[in-house]
Amino acid sequence: MEKFDLNSITRENIKGLKPYSSARDEYVSQGSEMVFLDANENPNINGVNRYPDPHQRNLKAILAKQKNVEESQILVGNGSDEILDLLFRAFCEPKKDNIISLPPTYGMYKVLAGINAIVNREVLLNSEFQPDINTIISKVDSDSKLLFLCSPNNPTGNLIDAKKIENLLIRFQGLVIIDEAYIDFANTSSWINKLYKYPNLVVTQTLSKAYGMAGIRLGMCFASEAIIDLLKKIKPPYNVNELTQKQAVNGLLDITKVTNQIAEILTERQNLKEALKEIPFIQNIYHSEANFLLVKVDDADMRYNQLLEQQIVIRNRSKQPLCDNTLRLTIGTPEENIKLIKALKVIK
Ligand SMILES: *Cc1c(COP(=O)(O)O)cnc(C)c1O
């Protein structure tokens, strides 16, 4: 297998770019001694009158410590969705390149491929929701730039087999992106720990799920410094706003709260699973390493509508391949989960 060559997979127009240098690039406020008359801001202090730090230094310092990486290996964005979009724009030449995705999986890979005019080559997961390595490799050509692996996978909830991921990291010549949106609920460690070993590995995480901050939009990307430098060239300078940076810092520092909430959600996942076993029209409850359960029912459309009538909104995943008659249930609070069970018991 040839050696991974970042330069050869980077779009030509991106290679020559210099990052946009914003007014607030050179100096961040270090207290009262600096007078900032450089960015045409309103000088009256209200907490958000200044542009945010374009390098998100405070946030990255905490992330670097917690994730055991260098700050230069981190990019943060307006949700993981922005980060995934940056990956397309850095590496995928519109109307020429392609990506590989493995349905049933997260819908954004396909959406972003469409927006960026990139062909999305889909290779179905097998019946165990694991990648079919040989078929994937047979679909790859020199224009295949990104391979998306979601682990734990949405909507199926399972982890992708580590041996298979390693195999793909070695054999795929583009970037392997492991979407770890649900990693904090899983009984395994992050692929961030393998960044030193695989130069084509990119790991994305988010504060939207376990950390309870979907509303602030904060996604994280961990990769080699070389990959991160490329993405920095094309990110909007102020892509993460001041309120988000502050709240993300506070949320990350409150480790006890997050750990306790994750533990409660995992307990609730187990309780819900036991209760679902008693519902006659639920035929299968898939193993989950995330904060949701995928279940197979007799008639998903009907059951979905019946729950809706009782003011319970879930996700019908039946249109996804391999997911006939499946519903995805997010783990709620204990009270919400009781309501769900009650509703399931009422419907006939
Ligand atoms: C929810 C989710 C995300 C989160 O995206 P954000 O833009 O960070 O909110 C990313 N990937 C997967 C697979 C998800 O399910």
Confidence class of residue 23 from pLDDT cuts 50, 70 and 90?
A: confident
Q: Is 156 in the pocket of ligand 1 (CB under 6 A)?
A: no
- The pLDDT tens digits for 86-103 are 999 999 999 999 999 999
Q: Is 206 in the pocket of ligand 1 (CB under 6 A)?
A: yes
Instruction: Pull the structure tokens for residue 157.
Output: 């909830």
Measuring from atom 12 of ligand 1, which residue has the nearest CA? 181
| Stretch (H or E) spanning 76 | strand 74-77
pLDDT at residue 166, rounded to an integer: 98
pLDDT at residue 19, rounded to an integer: 82
Q: Of all residues in the chain, what percent carry a pLDDT higher than 70?
A: 97
What whole-number distance in Å separates Cα of residue 38 and Cα of residue 101? 45
Q: How many degrees, rounded to 5, is the angle at CA 44 between CA 41 and CA 49? A: 50
The pLDDT of 212-223, averaged and rounded, is 98
The pLDDT of 212-220, averaged and rounded, is 98
Backbone angles phi, psi at 330, to 5 degrees: -75, 140
pLDDT at residue 22, rounded to an integer: 79
Confidence class of residue 45 from pLDDT cuts 50, 70 and 90?
A: very high
Instruction: Pull the structure tokens for residue 175.
Output: 């970037």
Backbone angles phi, psi at 292, to 5 degrees: -150, 165
Strand partners, 122: 101
Please state whether the peptide bond connecting residue 104 to the residue before it is cis, i.e. omega within 30 degrees of 0. Answer: yes
Which atom in ligand 1 lies closest to the alpha carbon of residue 207? 8
The model's pTM is 0.97
CA of 42 to the centre of ligand 1 (A): 35
- The pLDDT tens digits for 260-293 are 999 999 999 999 999 999 999 999 999 999 999 9
Q: Is the pLDDT of residue 33 over 90?
A: no
Residue 27, CA distances (Å) to 36, 42, 45, 168, 235 in order: 9, 17, 18, 42, 19
Q: Is 106 in the pocket of ligand 1 (CB under 6 A)?
A: yes
Strand partners, 147: 100, 176
The beta strands (E) that lie in 132-291 are given as: 144-150, 175-179, 201-206, 219-222, 282-285
Q: 10 Å Cβ neighbour count for 278?
A: 10
What whole-number distance in Å separates Cα of residue 18 and Cα of residue 14? 9
Q: Is 181 in the pocket of ligand 1 (CB under 6 A)?
A: yes
- The pLDDT tens digits for 110-159 are 999 999 999 999 999 999 999 999 999 999 999 999 999 999 999 999 99
Strand, helix or coil for residue 102: coil
What whole-number distance in Å separates Cα of residue 4 and Cα of residue 93? 19
Measuring from atom 15 of ligand 1, which residue has the nearest CA? 154
pLDDT at residue 313, rounded to an integer: 98
Residue 50, CA distances (Å) to 29, 46, 241 in order: 9, 9, 10
